[in-house]
Structure 1
Amino acid sequence: MTIKLHNTATRRKEDFVPLDKDDVRMYVCGPTVYDRAHLGNARPVIVFDTLYRLLRHTYGEDHVTYVRNFTDVDDKINARAAESGRSIGEITAETTQWYLDDMAAVGALQPSIKGTDHERAMPRATQWIAPMIAMIEDLIAKGHAYEAEGHALFAVESYKNYGALSGRSVDDMIAGARVEVAPYKRNPMDFVLWKPSTDDQPGWDSPWGRGRPGWHIECSAMAYELLGAQFDIHGGGNDLQFPHHENEIAQSKCAGHRFANYWLHNEMLQVEGKKMSKSLGNFFTVRDLLDQGVPGEVIRFVMLGTHYRKPMDWTDAKRQEAEKTLRKWYGQVGDVNIGGVPSAVIAAVSDDLNTSGAIAELHKLSSSGDVAGLKAGMGFLGFLDMQTRLDAAGDDVDLSAYVEHFDAIRAEAMETKDFGPLDALKKQLTDAGVEVKMSKEGVSLTPAVGFDAEKLQGLL
């Protein structure tokens, strides 16, 4: 079955033809490890994990290499160390493990080189400083970069196709982007490849003095070392198109590398129709949701319910519907032997990662009673890989007595206008994992994620 992918570089959907079907290679930009991953950080992980699963299914687990880096040298990390008094190494080690744990909780497979080498497939920038220095030296020797006041900078004007990925001219970028104005730059758009470090900052010896790499050079150097001068797919969020991916392309192409053939970018995430931000009070991490009792499979289901090239809106209604659907499906598949992945599910994902279409196919399998196919399809989309499971047993709980009790307390509250007892009862039910829905017709009580029957004792 032909895989079709929307290539950002050409702005059209194309048949995916790997350079070598025995060694399909993909690079995805990973996190800067200084804090917990927020919900938006999980979207590219889940998107490209789905593509990784598709490639493994199509070409074989041992014939796919997926590299995703960790940026563990960055000014945000330095600032966090200064604020906390902890060492940079301690912070990056802890936050890297947080990231791995949280992404595993949403069903993401660990990147690997041909299905086996996970550690090398998740390179830390600090482990690849020498190749970065070598690449910068090569760019300077070729006239594409220059040294100035302890910095090494890429000369944007030396690459005539700069801006092709994002579709912007250099003049437009200068006008619309926040660029660092510095006297040592020949052009405001020139970007840092290497910068000097103070005594209290991490640094390495280089031809330009003790310093540390800029953000963009690390991905180019690590991709070259691990995937070669040309590879198949480069992915990330669309917020990385400019400047990060634009700069990666410029420095890699000028170093003589053909770099990536296909570029994929996922759209951003919203919460209840608004951009997620701390100022709006709708900012939360993956761990926040997990600690609140939202299972990783629910997060994954909501994410995959929207096509990756469309903005994804996280809503409580979607979360509840995902919980209900997955509880039903887990109850259906139980100990059933897994079947072959239905062709309709594969076809949907092969069509530019149409995961919402694939989920629609799972609904059909559920309705038709094809539980073996349903289980295989769920496994293909990653819903069988998480340690948590929605408890289908709660569906058999009789809550009718609690409904009657709730209705009585509600009627009394409507008459006395004292809603304190009603609110208290609702909170007790919610704390027990019961979903409470009120309407003009009455109340509906449904066992939800984290349902604990013992917590209902004493409520009647």
Structure 2
Amino acid sequence: MLQLFNTLTRQKEAFKPIHPGEIGMYVCGPTVYNYIHIGNARSVVAFDTIRRYFEYSGYKVKYVSNFTDVDDKMINTARDEGITVPELADRYIQAFMEDTKALNVEPATLNPRATENIPDIIQFIQGLIDKGYAYAVDGDVYYHTRKFADYGKLSDQNIDELEQGASMHTNNEETERKQDPIDFALWKAQKQPDEIAWQSPWGMGRPGWHIECSVMSTKYLGATFDIHGGGEDLEFPHHENEIAQSEAETGQTFVHYWMHNGFVTIGDDDQKMSKSLGNFVTVHDLVKKVDPQVLRFFIATTQYRKPIRYSEQTLNEAAINLNRLKTAYNNLMYRYRDAQDADNTTIDQQVQDLEAQFKTAMDDDINVQNGMTVIYELAKLINNYVAQDKVAKQTLDTLKDTYTRLLSIFGVTFAQKQLLDRDIEKMIHERNEARANHDYARSDELRDLLKDEGIILEDTPQGTRWHRDE
């Protein structure tokens, strides 16, 4: 049975979806004021891999991941560049889509934007005010944190200690407006005329960060849904605040399973990669220098809760391991040229056993490292089998199907290499010899093999010509 580590309970739990066979999943997306770095990509790839395993296991997944397309950083960046916030957002949403496509990330079911849901956000905030969980001050609206009895349950923090910490990090002007230093903004009043803003019952302004995710997740997945994911840095305060807002408004449990991925670290001191520290490497730049599939493989093959250390060495190690797997695939595909119509029940049973071991590994909180160990064993089985003098097409099919299905969970796909001209000429020469020896079965087989590769043959009095079927 699939077990997931639930951040809320700090233990592994048997996974039971709200609706049998279906999963509602929300993963916090980027604030789109710059290109995503590898630390951001960690969350994207980790939860894409988790989603793919759910789908492999037979679940239908509704996967929602938002874009925060309005906040202070975006306003400041747009102002510095002399463009509007929507123009800035469009640029980096497009870049996000291109970068994640390069990493073979499946498109989300929905990618809602905060600015597309302003009426819903206003209505949600008004509901919190009506219930006594929020209050307006000079055009701002704050959440009254102490009104929510379970505040701190996700991050396991004491509210009095949080208040002391908050009072040290809040500016005096904001502290004076709040009833409590730990209260947080749901709506922010427009401070300057050029700031992007919307009309609300509290005046012109814009939503706070935390409220956006509460509104978009419950709007598209319901008041209670299965899984909420994101980086471990979002556990507090972002996800803690989401719980407080959502459960106060709906009166229901917000999320059943909270999943948080570990950081990407960099440097000898294993410092967290982040924009604020200026130690980041963007995916946009890196995929111009290295194979995007290597980067995807590097990220996807570490269990999602563990940290990943990024360096040129660890990236090279990922490339070597990926090449091992690719070699096994190419070896298997090559043997289709002389495979026979037979099967091998011993190999078939070994493949079934390995897939069962893979499921056991992955069912343990998506333990991709143990899962990959099984895939390496499958690659070894492929190499040993295709080294035999005779191979069976049905067995090759079994090996290929299982190998590609398991690797696809990690976003790894192997496209066959286009035949080189010299390989084509060699096969044509072999075909001509077969025809000369009246071995028409082999001649037809070679023609069909070339046709499958998009190579069209034309037999003429002057010899065999060929061209690619572009």
Distance change >3 Å, CA 136–CA 22, structure 1 → 2: same
| TM-score of the aligned structures, taking structure 2 as reference length | 0.76
Q: For 2:178, which of 157, 178, 185 is the aligned residue?
A: 185
294, 300, 315: which one aligns with 2:296:
300
Equivalence for 1:444: none
Q: The residue matched to 2:185 in structure 1 has which SS?
A: strand
Letter in 1 for 2:266: V
Match of 2:364 in 1: 351
Task: Give the conservation status (yes or no) of the 8 Å contact 1:38–1:286.
Answer: yes
In structure 2, distance between residues paired with 1:26 and 1:205: 31
Residue pair 1:28, 1:67 contacting (<8 A) in 2 also: yes
Equivalent residues of 2:231, 2:263 under 8 A apart: yes
Over 6 Å off, 4+ runs: 278-281, 389-393
CA contact (8 A) 1:302 1:314 kept: no
| CA contact 2:301–2:410 (8 Å) conserved in 1 | no
Match in the other structure for 2:343: none
Structure 1 residue 173 and structure 2 residue 162: aligned? yes
Match of 2:117 in 1: 128
- Please state how far the C-alpha of 1:174 moved relative to its aligned partner: 2.8
Whether the 8 Å CA contact 1:304–1:356 is kept in 2: the answer is: no
**Amino acid in structure 2 at the alignment position of 1:4:** Q
The aligned counterpart of 2:403 is 374
Q: Which amino acid aligns with 2:28?
A: C
Which residue in the other structure is 2:254 paired with? Answer: 259
Matched, 1:324 2:317: no
What amino acid maps onto 2:132 in structure 1?
Answer: G
What residue is the counterpart of 1:163 in the other structure? 152
DSSP-derived class of the 1:369 partner: helix
* Aligned positions of 1:16-27 closer than 5 A: 16-27=15-26
1:44-59 mapped onto 2 (5 Å cutoff)? 44-59=43-58
1:279 Cα shift? 9.4
Question: What are the superposed Cα offsets for residues 160-211 of structure 1, whole Å, 9 maximum, x if unpaired?
Answer: 1100100101122233456434211000010000011132111111100011
How much does 1:22 deviate? 4.0
> Does the residue aligned with 1:59 lie in a helix, a strand or coil?
coil
1:311 aligns with 2:307: yes
Conservation of the 8 A alpha-carbon contact between 2:297 and 2:410: no
What letter matches 2:380 in structure 1? Answer: S
Check 1:384–1:392 CA distance in 2 against 1; reply closer, same or farther (3 A cut): farther
Instruction: In structure 2, give the amino acid aligned to 1:91.
Output: L
- In 1, the alpha carbon distance for the partners of 2:51 and 2:144 equals 35
Find the aligned partners of 1:69 and 1:346 in 2 and give their Cα distance: 30
Partner in structure 2 of residue 34 of structure 1: 33
Q: Whole-Å Cα distance in 1 between the matches of residues 108 and 117 of structure 2?
A: 18
Instruction: Please tell me whether the aligned partners of residues 327 and 390 of structure 1 are also in contact (alpha carbons under 8 angstroms).
Output: no
Tell me by how many angstroms 1:322 deviates.
Answer: 1.4
Q: What's the CA shift string for 1:123-180, capped at 9, x where partnerless? A: 0000001111111000000000001111111000100110010010112223345643
How far does residue 281 in structure 1 lie from its aligned partner after superposition? 7.3
Structure 1 residues 261, 392: closer, same or farther in 2, change over 3 A?
farther
- Partner Cα distance (1:311, 1:179) in 2: 28
TM-score of the superposition, structure 1-length normalised? 0.78
CA offset at residue 59 of structure 1? 3.1
Could you say if the C-alpha distance between residues 278 and 190 of structure 1 is closer, same or farther in structure 2, counting changes exceeding 3 Å?
Answer: closer
What does residue 103 of structure 1 align with?
A: 100
> Structure 1 CA distance, aligned partners of 2:419 and 2:322?
9
Checking the alignment, whether the CA contact within 8 Å between 1:4 and 1:15 is kept in structure 2 is: yes
Structure with higher Rg: it is 2
AA matched with 1:346: K
Go from structure 1 to structure 2 and tell me whether the alpha carbon gap of 1:129 and 1:390 turns closer, same or farther (over 3 Å shift).
farther
Distance change >3 Å, CA 131–CA 223, structure 1 → 2: same
Matches of 2:279 and 2:31 in 1, distance apart? 22
1:94 alignment partner in structure 2: 91
Residue pair 2:49, 2:410 contacting (<8 A) in 1 also: yes
1:242-284 deviation digits (Å, cap 9, x = unpaired): 1100000001010024211000011111024421367987421
Look up the equivalent residue of 1:180 and give its one-letter code: T
After superposition, what is the alpha-carbon deviation per residue over 1:107-137, rounded to whole angstroms, capped at 9, x for unaligned? 211111xxxxxxxx10000000111111100
Deviation at 1:38, TM superposition (A): 0.7
**Distance (Å, rounded) in 1 between the aligned partners of 2:229 and 2:45:** 12
SS in 1 for 2:242: helix
Greater mean alpha carbon deviation, residues 182-191 or residues 19-28: 19-28
Cα deviations by residue, 1:319-368 (Å, 9 ceiling, x for unpaired): 1121122123223214749x989232233222101111111111111112
Residue identity (%): 39
Report SS of the residue matched to 1:364.
helix
Deviations 1:205-233 (A, max 9, x none): 11000110000000000111100011000
Residue 73 of structure 2: aligned partner? 76
* 3-state SS in 1 of match to 2:107: coil
Q: Which runs of 5+ in 2 are unaligned?
A: 337-350, 384-398, 421-470
- The aligned residue for residue 341 of structure 2 is none
Q: Which residue does 1:199 correspond to in 2?
A: 193
Structure 1 residues 246, 179: closer, same or farther in 2, change over 3 A? farther
CA distance in 1, matches of 2:418, 2:149: 58
Matches of 1:281 and 1:223 in 2, distance apart? 31
Distance in 2 (CA, whole Å) between partners of 1:80 and 1:332 is 48
Distance across 1 between alignment mates of 2:309 and 2:120: 40
Aligned equivalents of 2:71, 2:162: Cα separation in 1: 24
Given the alignment, which residue of 230, 234, 237 partners 1:236?
Answer: 230
Q: Which residue in 1 is equivalent to 2:468?
A: none
1:392 & 1:236 partners in 2: Cα distance? Answer: 43
Instruction: Report the AA paired with residue 192 of structure 1.
Output: A
Tell me the secondary structure at the aligned position of residue 261 of structure 1.
strand
Distance, in Å, in 2 between the alignment partners of 1:201 and 1:310 is 40
Please say if residues 295 and 390 of structure 1, whose CA atoms lie closer than 8 Å, have aligned partners that are also in contact: no
How far, CA to CA, are the matches of 1:252 and 1:96 in structure 2?
27
The 8 Å contact of residues 5 and 15 in structure 1, kept in 2 or not, is answered as: yes
* Structure 1: distance between partners of 2:381 and 2:57: 26
